[in-house]
């Protein structure tokens, strides 16, 4: 017996859904980006929306209208029959004309001076790249045509640090399959030896040990320290990298003074020879534009937004005048005119939403940053890291009444300029740790003390993690050894053995 076919059923169901409007999404996206990207975002909007433009008028607004801008308020008899109720327009021309005044978000400190306008771009010459420099040295060698091709291929595989990180065996295979050139490992090794004599010293090395040896071999070998340094790099490189100086001293039967002189010669070498030949044009430069500017005036903290790169925005008066003329006209508009008015309306709404989003962004940023300053007032007055209090996103969310996710977006990729330097907003957020007295202190304070202890330690006998833990516990900080190790790693400080010096 076959199963009966399932019956189709209809039923009503209520669902409560939370959806973001396009305006809310726009505000969220603008809130996330820093000032340096906001300028690009505004430029993009100016290009896409002809109704939006830069600048503001200083004079009185000659265009005033009190009538509500609704195409269906006074329809003609023919329009009543053809147009649908859902085509009613929901805006007033006053909403757009009044935006010709200076926007509120621009009424902040303008960090410009006459000198900024006089700055001119300084021309500079473009130099050759690191690989161009190596290729020019290939041309100076007495290579055959085949050897020149091989040398150029090897140079092409050298990275920006100056290392040849590919195996000779693999290069032989690559030449056979991609270049149809038959060669041997011996021939490539011989050509590589020639390349390793190029400038800068150490170029073409296959590992750090070979790189340092290539450089030390060009030093004056009549200097005993250079000779000893060459022996250390050649025969005791592993012990040197682990700073087992006592083992090296015993095996080479040298004094501590002689070993120290040799190590000083090694420390003069460049572990990345390619970095010594760099073109400023190819250097990645990260520009930081602070979003906030904090100034101290007689003990008062004055916060302002850095809006020097944010242009003034307003509604284009030509389009507002067009709508005003349409509102006053009693002539029945054609279909093309109605389409034009609809297009202008959409662009006007989009422009107004964008300006409102910018205003809301600036207000939210100021509200959040002011709450952070109030919370960390002692730090902002003194610049002392030990004055930082434990602070998490939830603390600022409670003070501002905003959501934690909003605070997170504000803190992301934002910077503040203070009299003590430029700080990312995330710098001020840290977890807390209790002392013996029950006082809660910031982990930032513990890291500052940890950094100071290591900076002032005896480099002949650096402090181990266990010893650092004991010192911090004596100071009243209840902290475990593994936590000290974690903070040390976050500060990019190596273990005690690697901090040892002669």
Q: Give the separation between CA 294 and CA 421, rounded to whole angstroms.
A: 10
Q: Where are the domains of the chain?
A: 23-71+90-111+285-429, 130-198, 210-278, 432-499
Please determine, for residue 79, whether its predicted confidence score (pLDDT) is greater than 80.
no
**What pLDDT shows up at residue 333?**
66
**What pLDDT shows up at residue 20?**
64
CATH code of domain 432-499: 1.10.10.60
Please determine, for residue 73, whether its predicted confidence score (pLDDT) is greater than 60.
no
The per-residue pLDDT for range 7-45, each reduced to its tens digit, is: 677 888 787 766 666 667 777 778 778 877 888 888 888
Q: Give the separation between CA 146 and CA 152, rounded to whole angstroms.
A: 10
- Reply yes or no: is the peptide bond before residue 200 cis, omega within 30 of 0: yes
Which of the pair, 94 or 61, is modelled with greater confidence? Answer: 94
**What pLDDT shows up at residue 367?**
92
The residue-averaged pLDDT of 352-371 equals 88
Which of the pair, 116 or 382, is modelled with greater confidence? Answer: 382
C-alpha closest to that of 133 among 273, 285, 284:
273
The residue-averaged pLDDT of 204-214 equals 90
**What pLDDT shows up at residue 285?**
58
Mean pLDDT of all residues in the chain? 77
| 174-181: long-range pairs with CB below 8 Å, 24+ | 175/150, 179/149, 179/153, 181/146, 181/149, 181/150
pLDDT confidence tier of residue 299, bands split at 50, 70 and 90: confident
Q: Give the separation between CA 273 and CA 280, rounded to whole angstroms.
A: 16
How much is the pTM?
0.55
SS3 365: helix
**Percent of the chain's residues with pLDDT above 90:** 2
The per-residue pLDDT for range 406-431, each reduced to its tens digit, is: 888 888 888 999 998 889 888 888 77
Phi and psi (nearest 5°) for 64? -125, 140
**What pLDDT shows up at residue 82?**
43
Rounded to the nearest 10 degrees, how much is the dihedral formed by the CA atoms of 217, 219, 224, 230? Answer: -30
């Amino acid at each position: 017996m076959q199963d009966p076919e399932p019956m189709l059923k209809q039923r009503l169901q209520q669902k409560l859904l939370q959806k973001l409007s396009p305006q809310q999404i726009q505000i969220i996206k603008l809130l996330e980006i820093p000032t340096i990207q906001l300028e690009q975002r505004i430029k993009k909007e100016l290009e896409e929306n002809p109704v939006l433009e830069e600048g503001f008028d200083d004079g009185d607004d000659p265009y005033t209208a009190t009538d509500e801008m609704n195409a269906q308020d006074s329809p003609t008899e023919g329009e009543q029959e053809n147009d649908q109720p859902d085509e009613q327009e929901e805006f007033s021309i006053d909403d757009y004309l009044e935006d010709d005044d200076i926007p509120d978000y621009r009424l902040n400190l303008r960090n410009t001076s006459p000198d900024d306008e006089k700055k001119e771009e300084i021309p500079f010459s473009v130099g050759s790249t690191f690989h161009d420099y190596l290729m020019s040295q290939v041309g100076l060698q007495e290579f055959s045509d085949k050897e020149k091709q091989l040398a150029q291929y090897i140079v092409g595989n050298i990275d920006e640090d100056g290392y040849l990180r590919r195996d000779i065996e693999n290069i032989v295979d690559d030449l056979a399959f991609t270049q149809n050139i038959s060669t041997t490992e011996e021939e490539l090794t011989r050509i590589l030896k020639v390349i390793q004599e190029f400038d800068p010293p150490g170029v073409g090395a296959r590992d750090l040990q070979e790189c340092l040896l290539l450089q030390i071999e060009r030093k004056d070998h009549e200097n005993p320290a250079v000779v000893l340094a060459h022996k250390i790099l050649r025969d005791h490189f592993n012990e040197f990298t682990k700073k087992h100086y006592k083992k090296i001293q015993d095996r080479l039967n040298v004094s501590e003074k002689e070993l120290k002189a040799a190590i000083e010669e090694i420390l003069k070498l460049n572990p990345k020879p390619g970095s010594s030949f760099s073109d400023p044009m190819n250097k990645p430069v990260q520009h930081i534009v602070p979003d906030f500017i904090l100034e101290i005036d007689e003990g008062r903290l004055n916060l302002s937004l850095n809006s020097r790169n944010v242009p003034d925005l307003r509604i284009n008066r030509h389009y507002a005048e067009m709508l005003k003329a349409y509102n006053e006209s009693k002539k029945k508009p054609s279909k093309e005119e109605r389409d034009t008015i609809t297009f202008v309306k959409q662009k006007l709404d989009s422009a107004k939403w964008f300006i409102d989003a910018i205003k809301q962004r600036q207000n939210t940023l100021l509200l959040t940053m002011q709450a952070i300053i109030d919370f960390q007032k002692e730090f902002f007055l003194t610049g002392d890291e030990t004055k930082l209090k434990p602070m998490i996103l939830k603390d600022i969310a409670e003070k501002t009444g905003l959501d934690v996710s909003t605070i997170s977006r504000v803190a992301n990729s934002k910077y503040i300029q203070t009299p003590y330097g430029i700080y990312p907003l995330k710098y001020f957020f840290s977890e807390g740790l209790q002392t013996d007295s029950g006082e809660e202190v910031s982990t930032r304070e513990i890291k500052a003390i940890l950094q100071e202890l290591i900076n002032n330690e005896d480099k002949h006998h650096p402090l181990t993690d266990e010893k650092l833990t004991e010192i911090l516990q004596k100071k009243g900080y209840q902290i475990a050894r593994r936590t000290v190790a974690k903070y040390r790693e976050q500060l990019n400080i190596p273990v005690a053995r690697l901090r040892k010096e002669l």
